[in-house]
Homo-oligomer: A and B are copies of this chain.
């Protein structure tokens, strides 16, 4: 009887609207009444820079979130976050991507180059210092420069005060508030466990952003440090990192209606924006991306059909594009469904009335018209700007050439005047990324997309084409030029490219490499574009600061800042929702649902070992008693966005009940607006993780490390 799966009480609870919008910075924790909300934890036990607190276990890893779950630095994050590491560990002989990966000993763990672990140690508000420096400068271009300079100085000073730490500046409200975050960085990260692809990516793109979901989107990694405990690059003699704290596992998992919270590093939200921004996004930018990404995905899928090696190579870029592609479609639907542009416009009419109602506020009466003018301006140059952005991304050879050319210009400057990636403190990472991006080089793809973009640029009015593009041959001759360029360029050899890093421009050009020549030709136009954008941003920043001020005054309360990749807290409940009239989604899926979806072919190709385990019905302690089954994924009404991937989902006692990895389709709109009816995020139930480790992968050493066997 399926229907008994919906516990009655919880539907009642679900209807009460207990969720609260908010990705709270640590500085806001003390303002929340956690006990009233049902927590058995205090704000201090969640974040406290001076003593043990949960956030010591919460890391940023490769743009995702992860958490320490053992005293030996074992990290739980998503399969899709470790994807490129699993992909790089795989070869035609050992297809770990398909079969899964399990290192039963430390020695067999696989170095995940390019992955770093970032732990938040503390933060300091530096708004005053930064804004004073900006205010002292002249026009917007000067202000942008002043801001950059001051940031670098503040960071340098803070890093001196905190030896061994990295410091980064976060903009909480553009033009209003700025915080320095003090981080520990660990740079030796290794892959420990990945489930088979048919578990970790069960449902693939078809189920991405979809509930009900049945994906085992988890993996295990481990952080290593030098034998003396200090952060170090990969070395065989390194030892597992001992985190100050690690997350305990909730033996019984969660039940519908349970209180839950998430700590993580949500990337970007855009809630404190105006109708003009949303119009630009939904009318121009997102439709453009949907079309261009859709074309690229289709083409790469076609290329992958014939050859498993090509498919392995293109899997990661396809996955990346497809994720955004579907997300934007969900957002476009949401913008329309929630009528967001119109709602923002109404808000702005009210805001204009509020401004006009008091003479003291009337100096702000130009804010909204100026924001409108800013978006009208960038909209008019939209196509050419977008093509320039896409150009470098479309080709690893061209982007490598461009990075090399930048390095030649930047490294000739004093350290503090350089672009951030070329400052001494970032050089290693910038250098390290070069061969990684070249590793994904696949000629037929690059040749095609680069050619298409150049042709699109050549079709623009003359004034909108970068000079270097206008100079290129056209039509068939362009094809010939590109064929020859790809044939002759030595940038395909990572070692050759690396040794050019930071060399003077003249030396670079002497190589005669066609992509270096093209990059050098593009450089002036790209610099002009960049400066113009910087000035524009500075102008917008000022306007948005005024806008937020006046809006907070009108609303009578302060806002929670938009997500910006810094540590945030969000809480809510395990809770279903009604996506459409007469349809209700329950907040747990089960093993039965895997069997139901399984087709024996991609993307619903559950591995034999999982099907056998289901048939054995050895659920062990991993059953959800309300369902009488092993739960697979869980749904909750917390406020998440990209970057929250891999975040631990914790109960009111701070124990791990799940692993966040996605949002429901209706919740892609989170980035612009929160909706109590629709904003639902998706996690892997911790019981499914343990069941897979035990019953499918027989990963006994890991279960022992987790204290479970």
Contacts and interface: CB of A to CB of B under 8 A. Distances in A.
A593 interface: yes
Given A214-B581, A582-B587, 4 more contacts: A1-B15, A3-B576, A583-B583, A583-B584
Interface stretch (A6-14, A395-403, A413-421): A6-14
Nearest to A3: B15
Contacts of A6: 11, 584
A5 B592 contact: no
Contacts of A588: 582
A582 B589 contact: yes
A493 B175 CA distance: 81
Contacts of A592: 581
A4 interface: yes
The binding surface of chain A is classed by DSSP as: mixed
B1 A12 contact: no
Contact of A580 (B1, B577, B593): B593
A577 to B, nearest CB: 7
Contacts of A589: 581-582
A604 to B, nearest CB: 13
Q: How many copies does the complex hold?
A: 2
Nearest to A13: B3
Contacts of A708: none
Nearest to A587: B582
Contacts of A587: 582
A69 B71 CA distance: 76
A318 to B, nearest CB: 27
B4 A15 contact: yes
A584 B3 contact: yes
Contacts of A590: 581-582
Given A583-B586, A584-B584, A578 B5 contact: yes
Nearest to A337: B596
Given A582-B588, A582-B593, A583-B585, A577 B3 contact: yes
Interface in A140-199: none
A628 to B, nearest CB: 13
A430 to B, nearest CB: 45
A15 to B, nearest CB: 4
A296 interface: no
Contact of A3 (B3, B14, B580): B14
